[in-house]
Amino acid sequence: MAYKELIGSFDEVRDYIREFFIYGIKKRSDFSDKSGRTYDNRRRQIESWLDGYMSFQQSASGKAQIISVDSREVVHNPLYKAFKTKNFSDYDILLHFCILDMLAGGKELAFRNIAGELQEYGFSGEENVINERTIRLKLQEYEKLGILKVRTEGKKKQYYSLSADAVDLVSWQDAIEFFSETEPMGIVGSFLLDRKELAGCPSSFWYKHHYMLHAIDSEIVEAILEGITEKKYLELVAIGKKQQERKIKLYPIKLYVSTQN
């Protein structure tokens, strides 16, 4: 059975990367969850993202596969690649390009017009019917992400348009590059560096000590920062060796950052 390079959830992948490939505290023989095939599939996924950064370490307990990076030769954190492999449905990719296309050039369209035009793009056959709820959820998602802006007229009628993109990324290149490799939420900078304005531009920085391991905890850091900003409690779920769960409610106040862990 072929494995998929794309993933739905980063939670499982984070544990694999940390336990098997960063700290090397586990080997294939230590893998007890599900089946050996599950481990092999995860291993091949991670190898495909981190090709060129993998090596083997032999010990008395067996051979361990680990991530090996010379920080003096690597400009961008290779662990960020794992965040750029999230899977998506056919509808996700179709709606993305179609919505951006129909709103290009400063157009502003009501929801009904958007839904109607989507049915004319040629993928609304019996097997590919996109209902209005799916379209509305995608528009709401893009509004939340800041891709779209919405204007309400009357009680219910909403008009959608593309948000203005007035940031000159090229003039911020050095700041974005430095942020992406030194800050806990550097993944944001990594995504910005993938934009066509900056893609392929030579880096101004090289690092003697390049602390990369924080990258895999980016989602956790984002949740903590959101809790601090919105003054919300967070629920910490600790799972023991026997898979028993212990839940703790926390009120986040401050986030301490270490270069070591």
Lowest mean pLDDT among 124-133, 205-214, 215-224: 124-133
Q: Using one digit for the tens of pLDDT, what is the confidence trace for 52-84? A: 787 777 766 667 777 778 777 788 888 888 888
The pLDDT assigned to 252 comes to 93
Q: What number is the average pLDDT over the span 179-197? A: 91
Residue appearing with tokens 């010990």:
59
Angle (CA) 189 67 241, round 5°: 100
Domain count, the chain: 3
Which three-class secondary structure state does DSSP give residue 93? Answer: helix
Residues 63 and 97 in one domain: no
Q: Using one digit for the tens of pLDDT, what is the confidence trace for 151-176? A: 988 777 889 999 987 788 889 999 99
Residues 151 and 105 in one domain: yes
The pLDDT assigned to 174 comes to 93
Residues 102 and 143 in one domain: yes
Please say which residue of 162, 189, 204 terminates a domain.
162
Q: Is residue 77, in this structure, part of any structural domain at all?
A: no
Which three-class secondary structure state does DSSP give residue 27? Answer: coil
| CATH code of 99's domain | 1.10.10.10
Residues 173 and 238 in one domain: yes
State the pLDDT confidence band at 198, using cuts at 50, 70 and 90: confident
Q: Is residue 258, in this structure, part of any structural domain at all?
A: no
What tokens were used for 79?
């662990």
Q: Is residue 25, in this structure, part of any structural domain at all?
A: yes
The pLDDT assigned to 203 comes to 86
Residues 177 and 230 in one domain: yes
Residues 41 and 61 in one domain: yes
Q: Is residue 158, in this structure, part of any structural domain at all?
A: yes
Contacts of 33 (CB under 8 A, 6+ apart): none
The pLDDT assigned to 1 comes to 43
State the pLDDT confidence band at 118, using cuts at 50, 70 and 90: confident
Q: Is residue 82, in this structure, part of any structural domain at all?
A: no
Residues 156 and 191 in one domain: no
| CA–CA gap between residue 4 and residue 8 (Å, rounded) | 10
Alpha helices (H) in the chain, listed in sequence order: 10-16, 36-49, 90-102, 111-118, 132-145, 173-182, 186-193, 218-230
Residues 126 and 58 in one domain: no
Residues 20 and 43 in one domain: yes
Q: Is residue 246, in this structure, part of any structural domain at all?
A: yes
Residues 127 and 195 in one domain: no
The b-or-e profile of 24-58 (16+ CB within 10 A means b, else e) is eebbeeebeeeeeeebebbbebbeebbeebeeeee
Q: Is residue 73, in this structure, part of any structural domain at all?
A: no
Please say which residue of 132, 162, 192 terminates a domain.
162
Decide if pLDDT at 32 tops 80.
Answer: no
Contacts of 118 (CB under 8 A, 6+ apart): 95, 98, 99, 124, 130, 135
Residues 62 and 47 in one domain: yes
Lowest mean pLDDT among 13-22, 101-110, 154-163, 197-206: 13-22
Residues 199 and 223 in one domain: yes
Q: Which letter does DSSP use for residue 259 in this model?
A: S
State the pLDDT confidence band at 27, using cuts at 50, 70 and 90: low
Give which of 26, 19, 58 is closest to 213, Cα–Cα: 19
Q: Which residue has the higher pLDDT, 200 or 106?
A: 106
Q: Which domain holds residue 124?
A: 90-162
What tokens were used for 67?
């991530």
- Compute CA 166 distance to the chain's CA centroid, rounded to the nearest angstrom: 24
Highest mean pLDDT among 2-16, 126-140, 184-198, 199-213: 184-198
Angle (CA) 194 53 11, round 5°: 70
Q: Is residue 4, in this structure, part of any structural domain at all?
A: no
